Structures are given as structure tokens and as C-alpha cells.
Structure 1
């Protein structure tokens, strides 16, 4: 489940963000976290595992007029390969349903794969609905 970042989660967020390639250095990591805390257009979200109740992933966005820019996405290695990224982006998209989700150079591949998967699911759902009404 996607939850909004609170200051209580500083250390957890820093730990999760440290898995991203551009935030290995502590000073850079602290600087980035401060930007999320102090810039109203930026927002961090954490993912709470429904099975274990652990905070196991983080994503950072920048909200613009018609766009949500995915700046950071990081999943604890123990939780990778479970489709968590897709579920996180699904919930993010639902939260900002009237805005387009886009990625940076670093996060763009995640967004592209997610959009492709979502389009396939929507097409399949439409096929099922069309078949049911025939």
C-alpha cells in the first residue's frame, strides 16, 4: 500500500533511496531528502507490504500542472521480482488520475514498462467486456 512520507520515516526513506545509483553518497542522499521535504512540488511515498507490514520501497515524484514526474523509485532487494513496481505505479496513477505519469532518464524505463503492461491489461479487459455483451 502506498503511503505518504512523514518525518518519522527519514531513516527508512534514506535507506531505501540509497539503493538508487545516483544517491550512494550520504551528502547527496541527505540533500535529495531535504528537497523532498522542503519543495512543495515534490513528494515521497513509501510502500508498506501488506504481507509483512514492512516499509520496503520508496518513490519520489515531482508534481507539475498536468504531469507527475517519477524522479526516484527504489525497492528493497528482498522484495524485488514481486511486481511491486507495477503496483506502486498503479496506485500512484490512481492517486493522480488526471495527470500523465512520466519518467526521467533514470526512471523512464520503469514507466514505459508499466504503461505497456497497463495498456495490455486495459485491452484485455475491454475484450472480456465486449465478449460478455455479445
Structure 2
């Protein structure tokens, strides 16, 4: 809670606002802002949203999950769906049937084909 309070205080002071002014913006009493900034209590979610909107920062930034005001940027990589997993299983069985298990080249070719198939699913 102390880190969050410090972050809230830094935002307020960086904008040259008083606790009273921020209290008016977020809709709470000045004493609450003091408690938030000192780490004695944590704001409810709706107050965090008002802070984020007013100071134009992300919730990740307010929760101290990142030091970037715009927040974390994720590289979304969806998990394989059930239908894709079934297709992958079917493809694996098909590839196994197509190659001679005794051939050393076949093993590498099977692995390569299956890797290509996995990439196709992404």
C-alpha cells in the first residue's frame, strides 16, 4: 500500500495540485486522499479509475505493476483452442503414418512438418 500511496502522491504533486483539489476530482474527502497517500488505506476501484482518467495513466501504473504511465504493453498470444488441438492430434497421426519409422531422415522431416503445423495454428 505504501508504494501505491507514494505513486498517488507523486501524481498529485507532479501536477501541482493540493489534496483538496484531488479530493474534489475523485469525489472523496481530503482526509481520504491523505490516508491513501500515506498508505494507511487503499482507494476503492472506482477511485483508482478516477485517478487513472484524470491523470491519464494506466491502472497498471497506479497499482505499481509498471513504471510506464501508459501501462504494460502485451504481446497477446492466444492459447490453442480445443478444435485446433484436435486438428493437431489428427495431423500428428497423419504424419506418423506417412513416414518410415526406421529412416533417420523421416524423424527430422516429421518434426519439421509438425513444427510448421504448430506455427500455422498461431
Higher strand share goes to which structure?
Answer: 1
Higher helix share goes to which structure?
Answer: 2
Q: What's the TM-score, normalizing by structure 2?
A: 0.31
Q: What's the TM-score, normalizing by structure 1?
A: 0.29
